[in-house]
Amino acid sequence: MNISKSKAAFIEAVKHIPGGVNSPVRAFNSVGGNPLFIKKSLGSKVTDIDDNEYIDYVASWGPMILGHTHPDVVEALNRTAMNGTSYGAPTLMETEMADLICKMIPSIESVRMVNSGTEATMSALRLARGYTKRDLVIKFEGCYHGHGDSFLIKAGSGALTLGTPNSPGVTKGTASDTLTAVYNDLDSVLGLFNEYKDQIAAVILEPVTGNMGVIKPSDEFIQGVRKACTDNGTVLIFDEVMTGFRVAKGGAQEILGITPDLTTLGKIIGGGLPVGAYGGKKEIMDLLAPNGPVYQAGTLSGNPMAMAAGLTTLRLLDETPNFYEKLEEKAAFLVAGLQKNLDDLGFPGVINRVGSMFTLFFTKEKEVNNFSDVMKCDTDLFAKYFMMGLESGIYTAPSQFEAGFVSIAHSEVDLQETIDKSREALKQLL
């Protein structure tokens, strides 16, 4: 496979961009080689600057549930741009977006738009602290909530991939206000509530994880966390930046049957443009400026271009008959095929899937249910598998600690080709 133009582009990029990338997970540090420079995308495919085409499961790290370059999204952007790109004043689309989010996720009574998932989680935590007048937050090892200081403690995603789960630059004071518990271990949460009684402002978690690979919470764990928050007057924040509108129309909270107090959103709600949001109980959200004293602001929050792409995307998700049933069929078909590869070849591995997000863990463990299971993965083997996938035209996340995403644009041909090429790679790795 010729990737000479990407190699040359990377040499140029590193001259003025740290690591040659504007987000660390895009670097290929943990899998070797250098990142591919992408020049276009359509449907289930992306094409690099050497004109290699790939079946894409990165999906821009989640947003592209409709597939890339959906014509309705492109048309909405073109139409909006003709009237200007940003006003710094309210627009009707922002109200439509808020109304639609509140309709699709009933636990959200009021919602504020921001520009990234990081902004959403940072703001939600500040709001929870303002509402409870408490300082401490519980997060879970391996979960990633963006790069806000409070969350770069035992963080997942790129922080884990690159071996910096605790980032330098986070002050001792900030770090001391973040407590960490173990995902799917309710006792680790209850122990912290006992030790720090009445001091915990919030518990934040990925209700289905994606940033240490895909892990679903046990009913006992997630129900126990909800009860502990309720009993202690602690705000439960579901970070649904990845799972929101991904694992179900109403996000992970719909399939888990748990109502959080606040929800953070991102990725899909921008339709590929920079958007984040946080919302929940009106009683809590009304503390936000300009109504209340908790401050949060953003020059481009609710930006017309981002609203046009996001609103078009959400409307399609809300109105397309059987969208999630069709997406479920596609993802189930793919993962059944990948699982058959493992079974037929006797290849050690575990595949976790929730809706259209999945992870193939290279592990000899029989299950992957928590961070310590994830840490037993063979990341070297993953790196070889990743590179073989790339060479055969399959583009997946360059990290064992991420999720793959199936879009509605992935055809059965795409999925069967992926299964077949994955099988060939595993055969060579045996």
Beta strands across the sheet bearing 350-354: 350-354, 357-361, 404-405
Nearer to ligand KE4, 168 or 346 (CB): 168
306 contacts 116 by C-beta, under 8 angstroms: no
Angle at 280 between CA 278 and CA 286, to 5 degrees: 90
Residue type, 346: G
Burial annotation 43-68 (CB, 10 A radius, 16+ → b, else e): bbbbbbbbebebbbbbbbbbbbbbbb
Least separation, in Å, of the C-beta of 1 and ligand KE4?
24
Q: Which residues does the annotation mark as catalytic?
A: 144, 239, 267
Nearer to ligand KE4, 278 or 362 (CB): 278
Alpha carbon distances (Å) from 419 to 96, 134, 335, 394, 416: 40, 50, 8, 10, 5
Least separation, in Å, of the C-beta of 115 and ligand KE4?
8
Beta strands across the sheet bearing 394-395: 38-42, 45-48, 53-56, 394-395
Residue nearest to ligand KE4 (CB): 117
Residues that bind ligand KE4 (CB under 6 A): 23, 25, 61, 116-118, 121, 144-146, 157-158, 206, 210-211, 239, 241-242, 266, 276, 402
Smallest CA-to-CA distance from 61 within 152, 169, 146, 149 is with: 146
Nearer to ligand KE4, 217 or 276 (CB): 276
Nearer to ligand KE4, 115 or 188 (CB): 115
Which are the contacts of 311, defined by CB distance < 8 A and separation ≥ 6? Answer: 76, 93, 96, 97, 100, 271
Least separation, in Å, of the C-beta of 148 and ligand KE4?
9
Smallest CA-to-CA distance from 228 within 269, 257, 198, 256 is with: 198
Measure the CA–CA gap between 278 and 272, rounded to whole angstroms: 18
Least separation, in Å, of the C-beta of 121 and ligand KE4?
6
Nearer to ligand KE4, 210 or 279 (CB): 210
Residue 411 is encoded by which pair of tokens?
């055809």
Least separation, in Å, of the C-beta of 359 and ligand KE4?
11
